[in-house]
Structure 1
Amino acid sequence: MQYFIVDCGYLYLATKDKKYFDYLKEIFLEYADKYPQYPVYTKEQVAKSYYLGRMFEQWLEDAMWFSDVCPIYEIIRDGLTQQEREKIEKNLFQEAADMITARRGQHNWQAWNNAMRTSLAVTLKNDEMMDYAVNGSVGYIEEFKKMVYDDGWYKEASPGYHYFPLKALLQTANAARACGIDLYNEKLKSMLTGVVKAMYPNMTFPAHNDGGYMSDISNQDFLYEMGYSRFKDPFILQILAKVYATKDRNSALALLTNVDIKPDKTPLKQDSYLFDDTGIAILRSGDNTLVFRYGFSDGGHSHPDRLSVTLHNGEKEILTDCGTYSYAQPAYLGWQKRGLSHNLVLVDGQDMQIRGAKTAGRLLSFDPDKNGGVASAVLDNNGYPGVKLTRTVKLDHNKFIDRFEAQSEEEHTYDYVLALSDKPELGDGFVDARLEGKSPAYEFIKGVKSKIYKNGIVTFKAGTTKFEIKNTYKTPIEVFWAEAPDIMYGSSEKDTHTIKSYMLVVRTKGKNLSISSDIILGKKR
């Protein structure tokens, strides 16, 4: 219903057709009749679960609803009678304000809490509420300092959990603007323009942390319309031109920009880039993109994926990160949120530690060049106590060179993991096997087969990509391959797509590990 309300509001602004005013008046008056009858949770219930909403199960959804509809109410307010205004503002908006003042959240939840408070503050002309939502201890300014990196990423560091709070931050800035408070700054703009530098050439993002696979910037067109209306940045306009080469320009927020945008089908060419605060190194050569993650992600949406990579050939990921599809599926906690589903090294079959900023990797070097470049990072005993992990990656045209080392005073089992989008062609000699580890993710793979390579070298193809993996100590390795859970993506259950996924594991045992891989991307199919 909130999107219908928003669309009616903008249509009324654009056309002055009274039928849209009448729709909105009827809707707001009906909510004013019904909202006071919605359940009011007790302090004891809220104490047990501060997630409780009133219009929805979670107050997060209440916050999203009111942040959207409050500005629309402003459009029709002057056309209502005093009695109608008093009824709507008392029974709907003030009731909602009473509810949200008893709620607090963390991370993206608090961003939406502040968005709802500022929107209601404008509607109710409540300066105290506005001041608290902007300047309070968990207000916009403090949360923005705490949760947004200087390089533009929201600290939960996935596309979904970047754009989701970004909408709340923009709506807060819009509401504050109505009260003469300017929250638009370069750092907020960088949340729109900076993260674009992490995109693949096909306009999708790597599915870091609890991000959705194949997350597409075209789904965020309304945020870029909102952003351009305030910042007037030509790069935002360039992004929108690329987006509208793939979809119609039908967002109501397009009315804010007052500018024609000609669709541009040419690919967005970008150079290699380092997100040095978030800890993501991007190496590019033509259509090929290598993404190297080593940094810390705040909040509960992070995955144990320090020193992981993804590799994209311009059309699809060759080395994948499946991201997260649904929190309700067993595969979420059992597979997607585990290290084994990423391209990295596991120690003793268990996930690395990820709680706290001290678990972040440390960048050693970032040296981009016109053919790609080199990056290196280390986990100094802070991912796995007593184990130092160092990874150096190089992209040279269509060749990915990977050097992964581990050093320890103790004996360990090391699993060098590749998550593949194509089935590996490994030849004969593989037998049925069981790949075991302490992580529950090992239970999610199927059809496991293994083979011991005494010379420590395995070569194979997957699709058109060629792989050569060496144990540089020249000791035997055991190679496993298996079917991984399908990668799932889509906007809803009715729009769910699945992609076959495979994994290859090179297992060695000892105090140290030294793996060298050469991966050559073939022609696209």
Structure 2
Amino acid sequence: MTNKIDLILKYSLFLLVFIMLSCNNKETTVIKNKILKDNSNAKEAHPKLILTAQGVKEIRAQLGSIPIFDKTLQSVKEEVDAEIALGIDTPIPVDYSGGYTHVRHKSNMMVMQKAGVLYQILDDEKYAKYVKDMLMQYEALYKTLPLHPKTRSYARGKLFWQCLNDSNWLVYVSQAYDCIYNYLTKEERDTLESNLFKPFADHISVDSPQFYQRVHNHSTWGNAAVGMIGLVMDDQELIDRALYGIKDLKLDANKKDDDGGFLNKDGKAGFLANIEEPFSPDGYYNEGPYYQRYAMYPFLIFAEGLHNLKPELKIFEYKDGVLLKSINALLNLSDADGDFFPLNDGQKGMSYYTSALVTAVDISYHFGTQDPGLLSIAQKQDRVLLDDSGLAVALGIKNNQAKPFTKKSINLSDGPNGTQGGVAILRNEAIELVFKYAAQGSSHGHYDKLSYSLYENGEEILQDYGLSRFVNIEQKGGGNYLKENKTWAKQTIAHNTVTQNETSHFDAKYEVGSQHHSVLNYFTSDNDNVQVASAKETNAYPGTELLRTMAIIKDQDFEKPYVLDIMKIISDKANKYDFPYYFLGQLIQTNFDYKVPATLNPLGSKNGYQHLYIEATANATSENTQLSWLNKGKFYTLTTLTDTNDQLYFTRIGANDPDFNLRREAAFMLRRKNAKNTIFVSTIEAHGSYSPVTESAINSNSNIKQLEVVLNTDAYTAILITNIKGNTKLFITSNKNASKTGKHNVTINDKNYEWSGSYYFK
């Protein structure tokens, strides 16, 4: 390719000299300027978007000496070579997610991107020819396509059933086009840009404002798609449309789409608005880690293109560098195995091993502070991007600069200004507690104020259900969200929090829930032995105030750290409260007798209750109710305060689910009727182990003898914890005035307690 350009330049210079000798001075000047301009265009630096011309030189110089990069390159080469051998298929689109045509076009976009990179790094024209031939097939196909025949989406694409996937395609293909740009003739480029890329970008944006003109992860993909092809084509109109949205566009601001969101009433749209609104100053993304992971690829890959080609924007410094901060936040929103906590609509098992997080880690390292902890994540991922940032990571690993990425307790604020609640993660040894007091989370939010989930070494102890969807499995609703996502997964009873009068928070209305958020009372992780998060919710149920305080306590009398959970409820009327614990594993023991019904019946008829079978019932018989279970070789015990009026239920998910869309998992639920002001207090212990090889159980019994509320006022709540040896510990939480410097003095059972800070424990 280089030789071809050199020959063109030499011929042009020869022609210029000939013309200059044959023309008058004025004609010579005009023609000379035109030829110089054409030559300048011919020498324009491509690739320039993600992989850069300088990066290609540096990569070629290092090949063979950078193990993780070389390994990734070989793997990608084998993948692309196999695809080339199979031939090109660009079928007429007919399927939902998971169907052949959907999967084929999705595969094509990724293979084109990889083939373009291989062409640049290996300087082998077969890869450029493959991309060119496929693009020409798409050019011939696209201009014949109507809207996709599947009509479920609020914004239909042409290659795919929704504009979202069309945007995915263009984000990847813009990189491929950049890599083979100089391989193509000007005529070929004009054909592709006029008949494929420009119409493609227009359909995503101008033709689909209900998709594009929003603050949402869908729109972020659309912005990146339009902007990236605009950068490659040097089309300022498309670049501006990507950054700032469509100007002078009149929308029906009250039109609701079937994704649960609304068109923007205030005109906020475009890539910059999608950075401003969803991210808190701490880098938390309001839709939750599952969708943050999905959105990080377009956020970061477009940002890298803007950094390379529009450095004046200082995109990685925008909003105090929140894009790079968000990667650290996202990594902290994963458990010990790297799986993201399934907050909101989150699929379990999604982890930082996904390709989007390879992109995030590499870009963060290259354009950020070169945190050596990121290198250890990259080592676990065992692959890098085949571009400038991937080279930087590969060199860092080669030079033994990697250090462990240490996850500690962290509090992440929510909302564009960090004032709309948040998510607190308490970590102590192998125990991780995820406490959610965030805002609604856009259309992917659940009605789960002050909910939590609990983990040990990456294994769930008390679970958040996550989403109800079989992503990209066509047989299950076309791979899309199932109706049970709304009837079960989003409902309050599906979470480890309180449900009042069998009605979900905000009556499960998005329009109401999106107006409110919980408020942090305090968060403290300074003490390695006691880490606490406390938050208040006053809008989930009008007239009812919920204050939940959760602590992980490390006590020398206990084998492992344990959880203390205090839910204080103040209401203006008597209510029925349901408080579930979604435990995973096999029931081992209870300190109460229960009855098992002859037939299974649902717990209720709506708001998620219709999906719960009643497997057993009991009445509380003591002030402390206990149950223990075994899961994956470890024992756990729940101890909870009860009175003799409390009803106890064992439930199981799966009622009114004829298609078996829901997992058949268990819960223990405490029901308290006719209560106005009340308090739920419990501990969860992790203890002991069981080996099926030696058939031995070690430390299988709880270490807690009794929980007791010894003070409960507007200002303070105090819990006395007595273990089986008779040793006691007192925990006092400040319900008000909970600053770190606040001074407190209370009297309990004629004994005075003084302390500074948010809580007391001794």
TM-score in same-fold range (> 0.5): yes
2:546 aligned to which of 376, 386, 389:
389
**Contact 1:211-1:324 at 8 Å conserved across structures:** yes
1:344 aligned to which of 497, 504, 507:
497
With over 3 angstroms needed to count, the CA separation of the structure-2 counterparts of 1:173 and 1:162, relative to structure 1, is: same
With over 3 angstroms needed to count, the CA separation of the structure-2 counterparts of 1:168 and 1:287, relative to structure 1, is: same
* Alignment-mate amino acid for residue 161 of structure 1: Y
- Find out whether 1:141 has 2:275 as its counterpart: no
With over 3 angstroms needed to count, the CA separation of the structure-2 counterparts of 1:273 and 1:40, relative to structure 1, is: closer
Residue 516 of structure 2 is matched in structure 1 by: 359
Residue 681 of structure 2 is matched in structure 1 by: 516
* Alignment-mate amino acid for residue 285 of structure 1: N
Residue 282 of structure 1 is matched in structure 2 by: 425
Residue 291 of structure 1 is matched in structure 2 by: 434
* Alignment-mate amino acid for residue 364 of structure 1: N
Alpha-carbon distance, 1:23 to partner: 0.7
Residue 359 of structure 2 is matched in structure 1 by: 223
Alpha-carbon distance, 1:63 to partner: 0.9
Q: Distance in 1 between matches of 2:585 and 2:126?
A: 55
Residue 468 of structure 1 is matched in structure 2 by: 639
- Find out whether 1:317 has 2:460 as its counterpart: yes
* Alignment-mate amino acid for residue 293 of structure 2: Y
1:92 aligned to which of 193, 196, 215:
196
With over 3 angstroms needed to count, the CA separation of the structure-2 counterparts of 1:377 and 1:445, relative to structure 1, is: same
* Alignment-mate amino acid for residue 202 of structure 2: D
Residue 401 of structure 1 is matched in structure 2 by: 564
**Contact 2:153-2:161 at 8 Å conserved across structures:** no
Residue 305 of structure 2 is matched in structure 1 by: 175
Q: Distance in 1 between matches of 2:401 and 2:343?
A: 28
**Contact 1:338-1:439 at 8 Å conserved across structures:** no
With over 3 angstroms needed to count, the CA separation of the structure-2 counterparts of 1:103 and 1:476, relative to structure 1, is: same
* Alignment-mate amino acid for residue 520 of structure 1: E
* Alignment-mate amino acid for residue 338 of structure 1: Q
- Find out whether 1:19 has 2:117 as its counterpart: no
Cα deviation 1:408-427 (Å, max 9, x = unaligned): 12121101111111233344
Residue 494 of structure 1 is matched in structure 2 by: none
**Contact 1:221-1:240 at 8 Å conserved across structures:** no
Identical-residue share of aligned pairs (%): 23
With over 3 angstroms needed to count, the CA separation of the structure-2 counterparts of 1:522 and 1:266, relative to structure 1, is: farther
Alpha-carbon distance, 1:372 to partner: 4.1
* Alignment-mate amino acid for residue 409 of structure 1: D
* Alignment-mate amino acid for residue 414 of structure 1: Y
Q: Comparing 306-315 with 368-377, which one deviates more in the overlay?
A: 368-377
Q: Distance in 1 between matches of 2:153 and 2:458?
A: 44
Alpha-carbon distance, 1:438 to partner: 5.7
With over 3 angstroms needed to count, the CA separation of the structure-2 counterparts of 1:396 and 1:499, relative to structure 1, is: farther
* Alignment-mate amino acid for residue 502 of structure 1: A
Specify every segment of 5 or more residues in structure 2 that has no aligned partner in the other structure, as ranges.
1-107, 246-267, 415-420, 470-479, 555-560, 656-660, 691-762
With over 3 angstroms needed to count, the CA separation of the structure-2 counterparts of 1:348 and 1:172, relative to structure 1, is: same
Q: Distance in 2 between matches of 1:221 and 1:439?
A: 38
**Contact 1:284-1:371 at 8 Å conserved across structures:** no
Report the TM-score when normalising by structure 1: 0.89
Q: Comparing 433-442 with 191-200, which one deviates more in the overlay?
A: 433-442
Specify every segment of 5 or more residues in structure 1 that has no aligned partner in the other structure, as ranges.
487-496
SS across alignment from 1:503: strand
With over 3 angstroms needed to count, the CA separation of the structure-2 counterparts of 1:200 and 1:13, relative to structure 1, is: same
Which residues of 2 match residues 159-174 of structure 1 at below 5 A?
Answer: 159-174=289-304
SS across alignment from 2:464: coil
Task: Identify the structure with bigger relative contact order (alpha carbons < 8 Å, sequence gap 6+).
Answer: 1
Alpha-carbon distance, 1:56 to partner: 1.3
With over 3 angstroms needed to count, the CA separation of the structure-2 counterparts of 1:459 and 1:41, relative to structure 1, is: closer
Q: Distance in 1 between matches of 2:273 and 2:331?
A: 25
- Find out whether 1:444 has 2:444 as its counterpart: no
Alpha-carbon distance, 1:53 to partner: 1.0
**Contact 2:446-2:491 at 8 Å conserved across structures:** yes
Q: Distance in 1 between matches of 2:612 and 2:627?
A: 20
Q: Distance in 2 between matches of 1:500 and 1:115?
A: 40
With over 3 angstroms needed to count, the CA separation of the structure-2 counterparts of 1:511 and 1:264, relative to structure 1, is: farther
1:480 aligned to which of 633, 644, 649:
649
Residue 270 of structure 1 is matched in structure 2 by: 407
Q: Comparing 200-209 with 419-428, which one deviates more in the overlay?
A: 419-428
SS across alignment from 2:143: helix
With over 3 angstroms needed to count, the CA separation of the structure-2 counterparts of 1:448 and 1:498, relative to structure 1, is: closer
Q: Distance in 1 between matches of 2:513 and 2:114?
A: 42
SS across alignment from 2:679: strand
Q: Distance in 2 between matches of 1:270 and 1:229?
A: 17
Q: Distance in 1 between matches of 2:353 and 2:180?
A: 31
With over 3 angstroms needed to count, the CA separation of the structure-2 counterparts of 1:144 and 1:168, relative to structure 1, is: same
* Alignment-mate amino acid for residue 173 of structure 1: A
* Alignment-mate amino acid for residue 426 of structure 2: L
Alpha-carbon distance, 1:92 to partner: 0.9
SS across alignment from 1:431: coil
Cα deviation 1:413-455 (Å, max 9, x = unaligned): 1011111112333447312355634644222223521100133
Determine which structure has more spread, i.e. the larger CA radius of gyration.
2
With over 3 angstroms needed to count, the CA separation of the structure-2 counterparts of 1:18 and 1:152, relative to structure 1, is: same
Alpha-carbon distance, 1:475 to partner: 4.1
Q: Distance in 1 between matches of 2:368 and 2:241?
A: 29
**Contact 2:375-2:403 at 8 Å conserved across structures:** no
